[in-house]
Structure 1
Amino acid sequence: MTAEAPASPALSYGQLVPVTVHFDDLDALGLLHNARYPVMVERAWTALWAERGLVFEGDWAAAGDFCNVVKELRITYDAPVDRHGAYAVHIWLDRLGTTGLTYGFRFCSVDGMTTYARGTRVLVRVDPATHRPAPWSELFRTLGRELLRPQD
């Protein structure tokens, strides 16, 4: 492939989280399989929340803010990832509402300068018993505000 990944400016918002692409994440052409990008982003978010003391233990009734569902996922692939190894995911919040949020992400080089894919995901926090929208906790909202991207 001759596509080149676009360079990105230095981080001014969000956080860069290291991730590892393993050999078995690559498809038959030796490229990171398209379905693996959202998995890498999910792993980055899990690591970020764990760093901040928020960990999902597998009990949906006690999951709190981790009891959420994906409403929408959009991803654009800018350039191929053609080898396993160290990469990063730049993650941030675009919007933090009462029961929902939109986060942005870039799958990128370890230093954040080269972007391979970018996208957004909309999440809705739900009550584990009713599956109806439920408000984010104050702790989650406080931690989330630290990740908000400045509005233009």
Structure 2
Amino acid sequence: MTTEAPSVLRYGSLVPVEVHFDDLDALGLLHNARYPLMVERAWTAFWNERGFVFEGDWHAAGDMCNAVKELHISYQAPVNRTGDYAVHLWIERLGRTGLTYGFRFCSADGALTYARGTRVLVRLHPDTLRPEPWSERLRSSAQELVKP
């Protein structure tokens, strides 16, 4: 496990998540497919708190009309119990139409890292599903996540 200074994040945001019994596999470990799900829940919670909500209408979704282009994850230590954890989120790169963010699935205080990775999103036009630039509103809101 990687130990990081939990008291103050130097960048990004630590978002709480909860591991439930049905997230565990037959051996009692957090199933490998659940890590990206937990990261998605944290990412969604982060943006929802800032007023970016997707409710099924692609035209009204704005910046939330996006798709995953890439996902990379490295599992560093097993999670072997239910309970409170966290996802540390940050932005590695914010381009014109793409966004690369980093994440760590970690203990609730951020001290222990169980998995880490990156994910690339592309904002899409709701009619053509072609890349479209991120709004200034998202760019402004995203600044707190940008890794120095």
Q: TM-score scaled to structure 1, two decimals?
A: 0.94
Alignment pair present for 1:8 and 2:4: yes
Q: Which one of the candidate residues 65, 77, 80 is aligned to 2:78?
A: 80
Partner AA of 1:9 in structure 2: A
Could you tell me how far 1:61 is from its partner in structure 2?
2.1
Question: Following the alignment from structure 1 to structure 2, what is the Cα–Cα distance between the partners of residues 28 and 61?
Answer: 42
Structure 2, unaligned stretches of length 5 or more?
A: none
Task: Describe the SS at the equivalent of 2:142.
Answer: helix
Identity among equivalent positions (%) equals 71
Aligned residues: 146
Rounded to whole Å, the distance in 1 between the matches of 2:68 and 2:2 is: 28
Aligned letter for 1:109? S
Alignment equivalent of 1:64, drawn from 50, 62, 76: 62
Which 4+ stretches in 1 moved above 2 angstroms?
A: none
**How far, CA to CA, are the matches of 1:29 and 1:45 in structure 2?**
28
Kindly report which structure 2 residues correspond to 1:22-41, keeping only aligned pairs within 5 A, or say none.
22-41=20-39
Q: Aligned-pair distance for 1:54?
A: 1.1
Contact 1:103 1:121 in 2 (8 A): yes
Distance in 2 of aligned mates of 1:130 and 1:51: 28
Structure 1 unaligned blocks of 5 or more:
none
Deviations 1:67-86 (A, max 9, x none): 11111000000000000100
Give the aligned CA root-mean-square deviation in angstroms. 0.7
How much has 1:92 moved relative to structure 2? 0.6
1:138 counterpart (136, 140, 143): 136
Deviation at 1:122, TM superposition (A): 0.4
The alpha carbon displacement at 1:57 in A equals 1.2
- 3-state DSSP of counterpart to 1:146: helix
Deviation for aligned residue 1:14: 0.2
> Per the alignment, in what secondary structure is the counterpart of residue 90 of structure 1?
strand
